Amino acid sequence: MRSVESIREDFPVLKRVRRDGKPLIYFDNAATSLKPRQVIEAVKRYYEECSANVHRAVYELSQEATDLYEEARAKIARFIGCKPEELVFVKNTTEAINLVAYGIRWSAGDEVVSTVMEHHSNMIPWQIAAERFRIRLRYAGIRPDGTLDLESLSELVGRRTRLVAVCHASNVLGTINDVRRIAEVAHENGALLLVDAAQSAPHMPISVKDLDCDLLAFSGHKLLGPTGIGCLYVREGVEEEVKPPFAGGGMISRVELHGYKLSDMPWRFEAGTPNVAGAVGLAAAVDYLTSIGMESVREHEKRLTERAIEILREIDGVEIYGPMDPERRCGLVSFNLRGVSGDLVAALLDERENIAVRSGLHCAQPLHRILGVQSSVRASFYLYNTLDELEAFRRGLKRISGELGRRD
């Protein structure tokens, strides 16, 4: 892996220095990542040099835009190990999951099996589908260490299960789920497997073939790319089980006054003018990560996570959520300081050390209720974060703990 110092030079936001001289320390990567200049320049170049629509015209500029868009698709498909025709461009992970939830031709009595550790984006769409289509929603629990109870999930999946929907990595616990094993359970029962890879695709090598999933969703903005672009992998053949929920130009090959014929994959799921600039920017992000190596990104984040857990364990009154082994979690740590609200911890870290962390429920309210807490503080890492930044995190937390942690 390139040195972290040289990587940091590629991220303009990291050059921000506050009036008190403290540089920005960005530990909110689970929410969204920073963007390297290579991505910013790719988007800018598209708008300045080739701002035409795609799949619409034969003139040169439109053909160039179409080539850029489809080359981006092919590049991102290679990144996750699928064919270009299996990769659908969407706005984000949320839209991808909703596309599946409202596109499957449900029958009354069908079941969806998920887990209690899901982000709301992989929970609410199934709840609404349950209301609309009279399907049943079931949840597998977690173990005391924050890992998924695979036995519980296996018992829930049965002959009525149409779909299993799980996160690859939890955005609160950091837990990395054994998707390959879950795929076996789903497929043994004739069910499809959808994977929410929002927290894994940016941070570790992903192969949809190795995972053996049928559907996989991720967002570009967490992967160094622009906002408003994401991807849905649809395994070849599975598209016949999902009817496009959005209709319009670009997703049909023939239209009559009283009928239509869908386009081939993946365009049948891409109604209307797509986010061409977003696709170009996401392809540039994939180029950037590929040049560094996803194995290297993963190893770097494991070191940061291990050190973060060591720091938190040094401080009295800190409760950490999720597995303690960095091998079993992605690059984030959620915690609470006894007697101090998460929002106050986050505000003080920002005020005193210019450290950006997330506090609150992280779009996972049911999980926090199961953990027995009102909210949590989350520090999440990426390839540009350093051990020195974690030392500033340590100083800030120790100071907060000393001043406020024993007031109860």
- Estimate to the nearest angstrom the gap between the alpha carbon of 1 and the chain centroid: 23
**Amino acid sitting at position 42:** A
Sorted by where each starts, the structural domains of the chain and their CATH numbers stand as: 4-27+293-403 (3.90.1150.10), 40-290 (3.40.640.10)
253 pLDDT exceeds 70? yes
Query: Are 198 and 171 within 8 A, CB to CB?
Result: yes
pLDDT at residue 406, rounded to an integer: 52
**Residue 266: is the preceding peptide bond cis (ω within 30°)?**
yes
Query: 190 in helix, strand or coil?
Result: coil
Average of pLDDT values for 148-155?
A: 98
405 pLDDT exceeds 70? no
Place of tokens 């109860």: 408
Query: Are 22 and 354 within 8 A, CB to CB?
Result: yes
186 pLDDT exceeds 50? yes
407 pLDDT exceeds 70? no
Residue 231 φ/ψ, nearest 5 degrees: -140, 145
Residue 184 burial (C-beta neighbours within 10 Å; 0-12, 13-18, 19+): middle
Average of pLDDT values for 197-212?
A: 98
Whether 167 sits among the annotated catalytic residues: the reply is: no
Instruction: Report how far residue 37's alpha carbon sits from residue 185's, in angstroms, rounded to the nearest whole number.
Output: 43
Instruction: Confirm whether pTM is higher than 0.75.
Output: yes
Query: Are 375 and 361 within 8 A, CB to CB?
Result: yes
Residue among 167, 231, 330, 363 flagged as catalytic? 363
